[in-house]
Structure 1
Amino acid sequence: MLKNSFSKDPMNRLSSWVGDDCCQWVGVKCDNVTGNVIKLNLRQNPSSNDVCFSESSMVSSGLSPTFIELKFLRYLNLAGNDFNGSKIPEFIGSMRHLRHLDLSRGGFAGPVPPQLGNLTHLKFLDLHVPFLCNGFGGLYTQSLGWASGLSKLRFLDMGSCIMSEAHDTFQVLLDLSYTGIYGELPGWLWNISRFQTLQVSGNQLTGSLPQHIVCDGCNLWLLDLHNNSLTGSIPHWLSHLETINVIILSANKLSGAVFEGENASSLLTGKNVLNVLDLDDNMLSGEIQVGDVYPDASLKILSLRGNNFTGPIRSQLCQFRSLRVLELAQNSLTGQIPHCLGSIQFDSDAGGLISQTGVEIAEIIKGIMETVAGNGAHSLIDLSSNHLVGTIPEELTNISKLEGLNLSNNHLTGVIPAKIGNLKMLESLDLSNNQISGIIPQSLSAIPWIVSLNLSNNNLHGPIPTGNQLQTLIDPSIYAGNPGLCGPPLPKKCRNVPPSTIEDEEDEDDKRERMWFYAIIMFGVGTGFWVVVGTLVIKKSWRDAYFRFVEKTAVKIHQQFKSGIRSTGVKKEIVYELSVYKYCPW
C-alpha cells in the first residue's frame, strides 16, 4: 500500500488516507467519469529552492512498486520528500499516461533510468537536484538518447545532474545548469523553435553566440547562459524575438557595443515584452542608447554592472515606468544623474512574469552581493563606481518604495537632500567616496528600516543625527573621512552645538540662495532710488521742472477739494496754505 511506503510523516499529511474511497484522500484526484486516480500530489514545499527536504518532509526508503497499479495516473509530484538516496525506479517508465512528473529535491541518487523515454505524453519533467542534496551522490546520466522520443516535452529541468560524459546533451534539454558541460556551443543547439526556455548556466562553455538563426514560430521566452566563458558580441537577432521575456548573459566574456546600431532600437524599447535584461560582468562597451519606448514597456530589471559602458545616463531610461532594479555600477558613465529617475516608483511588489520563472540575479545591497530570485529582488538604484558629477537630485526622495540606493565612488558634490527621510522603505544607503558637503539631515534618522549606511570619505560637517534606527548603527567607519563631523559614534565631541538647535530641514544651499535673494532686492531698491534722486541733484533744469509739476498738482487738488465742500452745503472755513520750499540753494 502506498501509505506504508513512507516510514515517517511528520505533518500527518496521509492521515486522511483511510477507508476505501481514495478519491477523498488529501493529495489524490480522480476522474469524474471513470473514478480512476489521475493525480497524486504529495509535494513538500521547501523554504528555499536551494534545500532538498526539511523536517516536515515525509521519509521513504524508495518508491514502492505499488505505484505501478496507478495505470491512469497523469500527474505525479513527490518533490521535496526524503527518499534516502534511493534510485529512481525503472517501472515509472511504464506509467505511460503521465504528463507531469516532478521528483526534484527528493534525495534520489544513481542513474536516470532511460525508461523515462517511454513516457511519450510527458510535457513536464523535473529531476533537478540542489547542491545540498548531493550528499547521496546525486543523479547522473551518460546518455540522453532516451529523451529524443519525448516529442511533447515543454519543460525539462535536470539542474545539477552529472552529465559530463553525455555527448548528446544539447539535443533535447532545456535546463542544463551546473551540469559540468564544457566546450564550444554547437550550432544545432539554436534550433529552438520547439522550446520555451533554454538554461545552460554555470558550466564551462566557450565560443560565441550565432549571428544568425532560423526561428520560425519561435516561442522562446527565457534565455539563461550566465556564468560561462562565452565570447564575441550579442547578436542582433536576440533583440528581435517578440516572445523573449528574460535574457541573462552575465558573467561571460562578451564584448562589443550592444546598444548601438540595430540593437539600440529593439532591446531597450517597448516593442518586445522583455522583463529582465541582465548583462552583468562582461566587457560590453559603447553608450547605453535607448530607442523609442512604448507606453506599455514591461522592463523591470536592467542590470549592466561591471562592463565598459560610457557616456551619460540618458533620460529616456525614465520611460520604463515598471523598473524595479537599475544596476549600472562599475562602468565609465559620465554626466549627471537624471532628475527624472524620481518619477519612477521602483515598486518591489511589481510582479509580472519574473515571479513565475525561477530566474536568479546577483545584486549588491547592504554592502553584500547576494543571489536572489527575480521576484525577490530589492527595488534598487545602483550607479556606484562611475564618473558621475553634479548633485544628488532632490527628486530621488520621491521614490517612496526604494529599498537600496548606492551612489558611491563617483564625483558628486552638493549636499544630502534634506528630504532623504521620505525614503521610508530604504534599507541600504551608500554615498561614500564622493565630495558631498554640508550637514547630515536629521530626517535620515526617520527611516525605520535602514540597516546599512555608508557616508564615509566626503566633506560632511556638523553633529551626526541621533534617534530611532540610527542609534543601532554604531560603526564609526560609517562616517570616517569627514573631519568636520562630530558626535557619537565618532570619538570627536561636538562643542557649543546643542542638538535641539540644529536646523534639520535647511541646508547651506537654501541659506545661500536666501542671502542672494535679499541682496538683489536691496540692490534694486537702492539703484531705483539713486536713479531718481541723483538725476534731480545733478540736473537743475530737471529739478525746477519737477517742483513746478508738484506745485501745479497740489493747487489743482486744493481747488477740487474746495469745490467739493461747497456742493455739500457745509459752511465751514477752511484754511489751507500750500508752501513749496526749495531747500537746495544750488
Structure 2
Amino acid sequence: MTVITFTGGSSLQLLQAIVFLTLLLHLRPALGFISSVGDADSDNIRCLDGERQALLKLKRGFLDAYGNLSSWRSGDENKNCCNWKGVHCSNQTGHVLELRLGFSYLGGMINPSLLELPYLTYLDLSYNDFNHSHIPEFIGSLGNLEYLDLSRAKLSGPIPHQLGNLSHLQYLNLSCNNLTIIENLEWLSHLFSIKDLDLSFTNLHVANDWLEVVSGLPYLTTLNMAWCDLPPMGHSSFPHFNNLKYFTSLESLHLENNQLKGGIPKFFGDICTLRELRLSGNNLDGQLVERINDLSGCAKDSLEVLELARNQFTGSLPDFAMFPSLKVINLFSNKLNGTASKTIGSLHKLEHLDVSSNSLQGVISEAHFSNLSKLRHLQLSDNSLTLEFDFNWAPPFQLDEMYLRSCKLGPTFPNWILTQSNVTTIDISHAEISDTIPAEWFANFPPKLVLLNLSCNQIHGLLPNVSKMPLNAHTIDLNANHLEGPLPLFSTNLSSLSLSKNRFSGSLTPLCKINGGLLGFLDLSDNLLSGALPNCFMHWPNLFILNLAGNNFSGEVPSSLGLLSMLVTLSLHNNNFSGDFPLSLKNCSSLKFMDLGNNKFSGKVPAWIAEGLPQLIVLILRSNKFNGSIPWHICQLKYLRILDFSLNDISGTIPQCLNNFTAMAHKGKSSSNLFDGDYLGTDGGYVCMGIYVDSAMIVLKGREYEYGKNLGLLKIINLSSNKLSGKLPSEISSLLELVVLNVSKNNLIGEIPQMIGQLKQLESLDMSWNRFSGEIPSSMSELQFLSHLDLSYNNLSGKIPSSTQLQGFDATRFIGNWALCGLPLTEKCPSEETPPQSEPTDDGSKDVEKDKDEFKKWFYAGAGLGYIVSFWSVCGSLLLKQSWRHAYFLFLDNLKDWIYVTMAVNKARLWRKFQNQG
C-alpha cells in the first residue's frame, strides 16, 4: 500500500497529489515488468494461475514445430509463467503484460484464451505461419493493447472492424499478409492514440476514404501504406486541409507502389513535421521542377528523405537547395532530362543520391560535390553523364556504394576512385575506359569491398595480381573487355566471378584455388581457354551457374561435375568436349538449363535423363555425334520448353508422347524470363552486372540467332538434320504454345498432322527435305503468326490452302513437291485450268491423231527417263560421297515422283480428250 502524507502546502499541490495518486492507481499494473531474461527479483514474482492456464491453452492452439514454446509447461518445476520464453510480466502484480512471440515459427490458430489476459498491453505474433486464417475478431476486445504486430504471419481475409475498439493502441502492424477490407477504413478513425500504422501490402483498392481517415489521426507519426493499391488522391478529398491543420504530427509517409496519379498533393508541403516522403513506384507525372515547388511550404525545412523513383516525372532536376535538411534524394527510373544543377553541392547533409535510369546529360564536375562530405551512396547509372574531375582531385566524401554504369569516366582509369577506402560496391561498367588496371589499386583494395564491376569497357593487358584482394570481395565482374593472359589466382572466398568475352588463355586449373566453398557463379565463356577441365569441382558445392561456352576445352567432362547438386545452369556450348553423355550429370537434379551443343559428344541420349534431371527447361544437344533413338522417357520432362537435338546422327521414330511436354502445351506466365527465380551476378553480357540471363543459339526462321533476355518466350522443338523415320506424331498438335517446330532433313513419311492448325502460336515451321505426302492440311491456313515456313522437297500434292499467310510466302518454300499446285507456285491446279478451244476442222480425226502422237511422246519419254533414273540410282552409289548420296537419292526420288505425276496428269488429260473426240 502506498501512503502519501501532506504537511501543508497550497490547494494546487493537494490537487496535483490527488491527480498523481489517481494515475498511480490506474497505471499500477503497467509499472514495470519482468521477463525470462530478466530482473533480479524475477524469482520472487509469480504469475497468476488463471493467466498461466490461459497461456497453456494458447500453446495448445499453436503448432510449435521447432519447440520454441518448450518452456511453456504445466509442471511444478516450471510453474512460473513469467519465466517462460516470450512472456513478460509486471514486476509488481505478476500480471502478464507482454507476449513477444514474433519469429517463433508458430502455426495453427490463435486461441481465444488471450481474452483471459486482461492486462495484456503488447502482442507480437509476427513472422509466423497461421495458414491464411483470418484475424480473430476477439482481438478487438483486448482493450489494454498498446502494441499489436501481426505482420508476415500468413493471415488472410478481411480486417475485422472490431480492431477499431482498441482505443489505447499506439502501434499497429498488419503488413505483408493477404488482407483486404470489405468497404472502407472507418474503423481506423477510432484509433485515437495510434502513432505508428503499417498496412503495407494490404488490399485497400476500395478504401476511397483512406486519405480522409488517416489524415485525421492526431498523434500519427509514421504511416506506411505502400503496395496497397490505393485509389487515387482526388482533389475533393483534401481541399479543406489548408484550413484544418491535419497530419499535425506526421513525420514519415510511405505510399510507394500504389496507383497514385497526377502531382504531389500541395498540402504535403504544409506538414511542418514531415521528415520522410516516399512516393516511389506510382504514376505521378508532370515537370519535376513544378511538382517540387508544391512542397515549398513549411515541410521544406524539415524534409530529410525524398523518394520519387519509378514515376513519370519529366524535365530537368530542380534546385534542391530549398531543402537544406535533405539526406536522401531518390529519383531513379523517371523521364528526367537536361543537366544537373551545381546547387546540389550545397546539400551538406546529403547521404544518398540516386538519379539513375533517366536521360540526364552534360558534365558532372567537382562543383557538384563541393560540400557533400557526408555522401555515402552515389548512383548515377544509365544516363548520358560525363564525369570530369581533375586527375589529383580528392573527393570530400568516402562512399559506401558507387554505381556509375554508363557514365563516361574514361579513357583513362579514374584516379579519384583510388581514394575511396571504405567503399563496398564499385560499378563503373560501360564507362568508356580503355586503359590498363592500375596495379597499385589491386594491391590496395578497400578492405570492405564486396562487389567490383569493371565490365563492358575496353580495359586491356594482363590482370594484376588479385590474390591479395580482401576476403570480403565476393563478386568480380570483368566481362566484355580485352584482358588477356592466363587466369590469375583469386581469393579463396570468391562467390561470383565473370571473365567472359575476354582473351584469357591457358588452363582452368588456377581457379581450383577458389576453395572456400562459397563460389556460386562462374562465367568464363567466350575466351581462349583450352585443355581438359580439372577435376576440382568438389570445391564449389554451392555453384549454381557454370558457363564455359565458346572456348577450346577438350576431353571428357570430369566426374566431380556431378557433385554440383545446386547447379541450375550448365553451358558447355561450342568447345571440343568428347565422350558419352556425362553420366555424372545424373546427380545434378537441380539443372534447368543445359547446353552441350557444338561439341563432339557421342553415344546415345540416356534414358535416365528425365529421372536424373527432372527440372530441365532447356535441353540443347545440337551439333554433336549422338546416335541411337530418342528415348521415350524424355517425355517426362514436363517443364521442358526448348528441345534441340538437331545436327546429330539420331535415328528411329519420334516418340508419340510429345503431348506430355506440358510447358509447351499450356500457357504459362507471360514473361521473357526463362526461370521464375532470378540469379544474382552477371547476365552473360546483355546487361552487365544485374540479373543473370541464360543465352543460347537458336535456329529460327532458317537462321541461327543468339537469344538471351527473350529466351523465356520461346517454346521450341528442333530435331532437324538427323536420320529420323516414321510419321510425325499427331500428338504434336496438342503443344498449343509451340513457337518453333523444325523437323527438316530427316526421312519422315506420312501426312502432315491434320490438326497442326491448333498451334496458334507457331512462328516458324520447317518440314523440308523429308518424304511427307498427301495434301497440306487446310488448318494450316489458321496459323496467323507464322512468319517462316518451309515445306520444300517432300511428296506433297494437291492445292495449297488459301490464306493471306500461306500465299504470302515465297514459292521456294513449296518447291520440290511436284504434284503441288496453286499460289504462290506458278503451277495451276487442274480445276483452275481453262481447256484450249480447238479451231473447227473439216475432219476431227486430225485432232485425234495429234493427241495420240502426243500421248505416245509422253509415254516413251517417261520410259526413257525412268531408265536414266534407274541407271544413275545404281551407278551413283559408286561415284558420290555419303553426304552427297543422301541428298542425291532424295533428289532422284522427287524427280521420279515428278515424272510419274506429270505423266499421270498428262496421260489422263490426253486420254479423256482422245475418248471425247473419238
TM-score using structure 2 length: 0.47
Note the C-alpha offset of 1:36. Answer: 6.1
Deviation at 1:263, TM superposition (A): 2.8
**Partners of 1:18 and 1:36 in 2: how far apart?**
11
Q: 1 CA distance for matches of 2:806 and 2:396?
A: 64
Q: Is 2:639 the partner of 1:322?
A: yes
Q: 1:288 to 1:165 in 2, by over 3 A?
A: closer
- Structure 1 position 248 matched with structure 2 position 571: yes
Of 328, 338, 351 in structure 2, the residue corresponding to residue 37 of structure 1 is 351
* Higher RCO by CA contacts (8 Å cutoff, separation 6 or greater): 1
CA RMSD of aligned residues (A): 3.1
Question: Quick check: 1:41–1:78 contact (8 Å CA) kept in 2?
Answer: no
Write out per-residue CA displacement over residues 88-117 of structure 1, whole angstroms, 9 at most, x where no aligned residue.
323223323322222112222323344264
Q: Pick from 120, 134, 149: which aligns with 2:469?
A: 149
How far apart are 1:288 and its partner, in Å? 0.8
> Any stretches of 5+ residues in structure 2 without a counterpart?
1-312, 333-347, 360-381, 680-690, 834-918
Query: Are residue 481 (structure 1) and residue 816 (structure 2) matched?
Result: yes
Q: Pick from 574, 587, 590: which aligns with 1:266?
A: 587
Distance 2:782 2:394 in 1: 60
> Is the partner of 2:626 in helix, strand or coil?
strand
Contact 2:591-2:615 within 8 A present in 1 as well: yes
Aligned CA distance change for structure 1 residues 169 and 213 (closer, same or farther; 3 Å) = closer
Distance 1:248 1:303 in 2: 9
Describe how 1:549-568 pairs up with structure 2 within 5 A. Answer: none
SS of 1:25 mapped into structure 2: strand
Structure 1 residue 357 corresponds to structure 2 residue 661: no
Map Cα deviations across residues 445-473 of structure 1 (whole Å, 9 max, x no partner): 11111100000000001111121422432
| Residue 185 (str. 1) matches residue 511 (str. 2) | no
> Which segment is superposed worse, 118-127 or 477-486?
118-127
Cα displacement string for residues 418-448 of structure 1 (whole angstroms, at most 9, x for unaligned residues)? 1111111111000000000011111111111
1:98 to 420, 423, 445: 423
- Distance (whole Å) between structure 2 residues aligned to residue 425 and residue 249 of structure 1: 30
Which 10-residue stretch deviates more, 414-423 or 176-185?
Answer: 176-185
Q: Measured at CA, do residues 387 and 236 of structure 1 come closer, stay the same or move farther in structure 2, by a change above 3 Å?
A: same
Quick one: percent identity of the two aligned structures?
27
Is 1:282 aligned with 2:599? yes
Compared with structure 1, are the counterparts of its residues 422 and 70 closer, same or farther at alpha carbon in structure 2 (3 Å cutoff)?
A: farther
For residues 235 and 374 of structure 1, the distance between their equivalents in structure 2, rounded to whole angstroms, comes to 30
Q: CA deviation at 1:14?
A: 3.7
Instruction: Output one character per residue of 1:176-222: Cα deviation in whole Å (capped at 9) or x when no partner.
Output: 1122122233355363533211111112211101235542x631111
**Offset at 1:256?**
0.2
Taking a change above 3 Å as real, the CA distance of residues 206 and 219 of structure 1, as seen in their structure-2 partners, is same
Alignment of 1:161-560 (within 5 A): 161-165=481-485, 168=488, 174-186=497-509, 188-189=511-512, 191-192=514-515, 193-215=517-539, 218-259=541-582, 262-263=583-584, 265-267=586-588, 272-291=589-608, 293=610, 297-344=614-661, 345-346=663-664, 349=671, 351-353=675-677, 356-373=691-708, 376-377=711-712, 378-473=714-809, 475-496=810-831
Spell out, residue by residue over 1:313-345, the C-alpha distance to the aligned partner (whole angstroms, 9 max, x if none).
112112111111101000011111112122213
Question: Could you tell me which residue of structure 2 aligns to residue 518 of structure 1?
Answer: none
> Residue 472 and residue 18 in structure 1: after superposition, are their counterparts in 2 closer, same or farther (change >3 A)?
farther
Partner of 2:161: none
**Shift of residue 68, structure 1, vs aligned partner:** 3.0
For residue 78 of structure 1, report the CA deviation from its aligned partner. 1.8
In 2, are the aligned partners of 1:39 and 1:75 still within 8 Å (CA)? Answer: no
Aligned counterpart, 1:134: none
* Matched position secondary structure for 1:237: helix
User: Following the alignment from structure 2 to structure 1, what is the Cα–Cα distance between the partners of residues 832 and 639?
Assistant: 45
Contact 2:567 2:591 in 1 (8 A): yes
| Structure 2 counterpart of 1:123, from 450, 455, 458 | 450
Deviations 1:465-489 (A, max 9, x none): 121422432x111001000111111
CA contact (8 A) 1:265 1:290 kept: no
The 3 A distance-change label for structure 1 pair 63 and 436 is farther
Letter aligned with residue 482 of structure 1: N
What secondary structure is seen at the aligned counterpart in 2 of 1:445?
Answer: helix
Specify whether residues 405 and 190 from structure 1 end up closer, same or farther in structure 2 by C-alpha distance, changes over 3 A only: farther
CA–CA distance in structure 2, aligned partners of residues 448 and 180 of structure 1 = 45
Question: Cα–Cα, structure 1 residues 209 and 354, in superposed 2: closer, same or farther, change >3 Å?
Answer: farther
Letter in 2 for 1:266: N
8 Å contact 2:508–2:534 — kept in the other structure? no
Q: Against the structure 1 CA distance between its residues 188 and 108, is the aligned structure 2 distance closer, same or farther, given a 3 Å change threshold?
A: closer
Decide whether the 8 Å contact of 1:360 with 1:373 is kept in 2.
yes
In the other structure, the counterpart of 1:60 is 386
Q: Distance in 2 between matches of 1:398 and 1:167?
A: 49
**Unmatched 5+ stretches in structure 1:** 1-9, 29-33, 46-55, 131-137, 499-586
SS state at 1:449 partner: coil
Aligned to 1:88: 413
Looking at structure 2, the residues matched to 393 and 292 of structure 1 have their Cα atoms a distance apart, in angstroms, of: 22
Closer, same or farther in 2 for the Cα pair 1:36/1:439, shift >3 Å? same
AA paired with 2:758? N
Query: Is contact 1:41–1:77 with CA below 8 Å preserved after alignment?
Result: no
Conserved in 1, the CA contact under 8 Å of 2:646 and 2:718? yes
Residues 219-252 of structure 1: per-residue CA shift (max 9 Å, x gap): 1111111111111001222122111111111111
CA contact (8 A) 2:486 2:506 kept: no
For residues 567 and 786 of structure 2, what CA distance do their matches in structure 1 show?
36
Change (3 A) 1:210 1:435: same
Q: Would you say the 8 A contact 1:409–1:433 is kept in 2? A: yes
Question: Within 2, Cα distance between the matches of 1:307 and 1:195?
Answer: 30
Count matched residues.
Answer: 458
Q: Alpha carbons of 1:254 and 1:292: their partners in 2 closer, same or farther (altered >3 Å)?
A: closer
Q: 1:78 aligns with which of 404, 424, 444?
A: 404
Task: Pick closer, same or farther for the CA change 1:325–1:292 going to 2, 3 Å.
Answer: closer
How many angstroms apart in 2 are the aligned matches of 1:43 and 1:112?
27
In 2 relative to 1, CA 282–13 (structure 1 residues): closer, same or farther, beyond 3 Å?
farther
Task: Tell me the distance in 1 between the aligned counterparts of 2:456 and 2:486.
Answer: 17
Distance of 1:360 and 1:320 partners within structure 2 = 20
- Describe the shift of the 1:175–1:264 C-alpha distance in structure 2 as closer, same or farther (beyond 3 A): closer
The structure-2 alpha-carbon separation of the partners of 1:248 and 1:190, relative to structure 1 and needing over 3 Å to count, comes to: farther
TM-score by length of 1: 0.72
Which piece of structure 1 moves more, 487-496 or 186-195? Answer: 186-195
Structure 1 partner of 2:40: none
